[in-house]
Chains A and B, each alone.
Chain A
């Protein structure tokens, strides 16, 4: 593999992404909503008993948590409730950027030019994955930093004897987020073999957030607590999924088929 060629491909795509407001908008909005607005609202609500009463789902949600956590609704919101919601960030950012990077090339009739260059199939696939994976992870980490500041400012966890981010959260953003975003991108690469328009690819890619929505709902209904065990299970599943989708993405990337379908 030639790193210079991969770097050239990534640099080219990042210039394009920077100048594409339609693609950048969700990437900028997600941290604002998930790391700033939503936590601010939820933490503020848990600090006020009358607001807490209006959040009907809280009771059933707290039932599924360890007693020590359930006794502190603010901590429950910060450590547990927000965790699966945060998983949306790497998946959505990766999905938006990967569909632009892969299917966008097809839609704009630029892909054939790349195929005529010395890029190998593996370099092309890896370059395109990095184009979306690095920003997806970076945005997740930045969002976590913003979230930690919001938690520190509004929840003041040290006053109640707990700290944030805890080990589970660090594992979530340092290990799980990179793994799930890679998995999402790998799936987009596989989808892009067949999709020829951004709209079509994004419609199918939207299904990737379904498992996260299931996690959020399961937690809200008290069926599941997003604790260390859940993080380990997600990590193992995502890690195995990464290996499978990367293998398939490289193996199924066939210039002949790509060119024939352009």
Chain B
């Protein structure tokens, strides 16, 4: 069996008197998606910085692609990694110029860079903004360009730190859909840090939940959900309350423990997608 793409053991980082990450163990196998979940300040970004060799762990070790991350190995390993964080793109450069720079820094040939540039901009819906200075883009479009910069070199390992922050709901779904495609293709390993949980159950294979730098839950998503909710709930949707009550009466008569029917009020989320995206999610 091949080495895991990411393996961290006892990863700890202390900033002066504050413990940012404490004794974190994680393993991500090739082609899998790991969700690093937690509120702001839980240590997600510090974890990414340690995993990519930007920050030295106070304790613990990191191996990427089976090789120990050290100051001398880190630049070589980073050539196989794409990272999206809160770091800005260059506002005076166009979207294409920003991404081309990243292609050059990752050692891509000019032809490969141009091919990937077109593909990535198409995927992210930025093809018509190719020659627009990044400083002229809205926050959401800048975030897309930032994700594009990480995707451009077709990295074997992709770190995404709050990739859907600032995106409108449809764009956020587009991004998650694309990550789902990458997962299905199985060539890219993804570490996804976020506190926005919508849609993650289907995207992430594994999760690590952090709170103030400590792991509060970790494992395969399906295992964790089954462990915490061993009994599944099923929902029946009917458009008539009287009919719903009759169904509950029937089920109770059959011996099932059923709660009273509840009205599922439509949400703004539902209205948004009905009006703007032409569909209900």
A binds B: yes
Most chain-B CB neighbours within 10 Å: which of A19, A113, A120, A259? Answer: A113
List which B99-117 residues lie within 8 A (CB) of chain A: 101-102, 104-107
Judge whether A111 is part of the interface by a CB distance below 8 angstroms: yes
**Is B130 in the interface zone, CB < 8 Å from A?**
no
**Interface assignment of A12: CB less than 8 Å from any CB of chain B:** yes
Partner of B104, one of A7, A16, A19, A116: A7
Segment of B79-87, B215-223, B258-266 engaged in the interface with chain A: B79-87
Q: With the chains together, A19 CA to B136 CA distance in Å?
A: 14
Residue of B54, B76, B81, B92 near A15 (CB, 8 A) is B92
| Contacts A119-B75, A259-B54, A260-B55; A5 near B107 (Cβ below 8 A) | yes
Report chain A residues within 8 Å CB of B52.
116
Q: How far is the CA of A4 from the CA of B104 in the complex (A)?
A: 7
Task: Establish whether residues B75 and A16, one from each chain, have CB atoms under 8 Å apart when the complex forms.
Answer: no
Would you call B241 an interface residue if the criterion is a C-beta within 8 Å of the partner chain's C-beta atoms? no
Rounded to whole angstroms, the CA-CA distance of A61 and B81 in the bound complex is 63
Is the pair A118, B54 in contact by a Cβ cutoff of 8 Å?
no
Q: Chain A binding site: helix, strand, loop or mixed by DSSP?
A: helix
Check A110/B105 contact, CB under 8 A, given A256-B55, A259-B49: no
Q: Which residues of chain B are within 8 angstroms of A11 by Cβ–Cβ distance?
A: 101, 104
A-side interface size class: 20 to 34
Assess whether B78 is in contact with A116, with CB atoms less than 8 Å apart: yes
Q: A12-B90, A15-B93 are in contact. Are A113 and B104 (CB under 8 A)?
A: no
CA of A111 to CA of B78 in the docked complex: distance in angstroms?
15
- For A129-157 the 0/1 string (1 means CB < 8 A from B) is 00000000000000000000000000000
> Which one, B56, B83, B90, contacts A16 given CB within 8 A?
B90
Is the Cβ of B15 less than 8 Å from the Cβ of A118? no
C-alpha gap A4/B89 in the complex (Å): 20
User: A2 contacts B55, CB within 8 Å?
Assistant: no
**Interface residue? B196 (CB, 8 A):** no
Evaluate contact between B93 and A113: CB separation under 8 angstroms.
no
Chain B residues with CB under 8 Å of A119's CB are: 75, 105
B97 within 8 A of A: yes
CA distance in complex: A109, B146 (Å) = 13
Chain B's closest residue to A12 (CB) is: B101
Does B88 interact with chain A (Cβ within 8 Å)?
Answer: yes
A117 lies within 8 A of B105 (CB): yes
- The digit string for A76-94, where 1 denotes a CB below 8 A from any CB of B, is 0000000000000000000
Q: What's the Cα separation between A12 and B105 when bound, in Å?
A: 10
Cα–Cα distance between A109 and B91 once the two chains are bound (Å): 11
Cα–Cα, bound, A11→B53 (Å): 26
Is B93 a contact partner of A12 (Cβ separation < 8 A)?
A: yes
- Indicate if B149 sits at the interface (CB-CB under 8 A): yes
Given contacts A16-B90, A110-B89, contact A118 B49 (CB under 8 A): no
A16, A113, A118: the one contacting B79 at CB < 8 Å is A118
Q: Smallest CB–CB gap between A24 and chain B, Å? A: 12
Smallest CB-CB separation from B83: which chain A residue? Answer: A116
- The answer to whether A108 has its CB under 8 Å from any CB of chain B is yes
- B78 near A259 (CB under 8 angstroms)? no
Does A115 make an interface contact (CB < 8 A)? yes
Q: Nearest chain A CB to B28's CB is how many angstroms away?
A: 18
Residue A60 at the chain B interface, CB threshold 8 Å: no
**B107/A2 in contact, CB under 8 A:** yes
Q: Which residues of A contact B49 (CB under 8 A)?
A: 259
CB distance from A25 to the nearest CB of B (A): 16
| Most chain A beta carbons < 10 A, residue from B81, B93, B101, B105 | B105
A-B contact pairs, 29 of them (CB 8 A): A4-B104, A5-B105, A8-B104, A11-B104, A15-B92, A15-B97, A16-B92, A19-B92, A108-B91, A109-B87, A109-B88, A110-B88, A110-B89, A110-B90, A111-B87, A112-B54, A112-B86, A113-B87, A113-B89, A114-B105, A115-B54, A117-B106, A118-B75, A118-B76, A121-B71, A255-B55, A256-B55, A259-B54, A260-B55
Given contacts A20-B92, A112-B85, 6 further A-B contacts (CB under 8 A): A15-B97, A113-B85, A113-B89, A115-B54, A117-B102, A117-B106
List the 9 closest A-B pairs by CB distance, nearest first.
Answer: A8-B104, A113-B87, A112-B87, A118-B79, A116-B83, A19-B92, A117-B105, A12-B101, A109-B88
Footprint of A on B, CB under 8 Å?
15, 49, 52-56, 71, 75-76, 78-79, 81, 83, 85-93, 97, 101-102, 104-107, 149
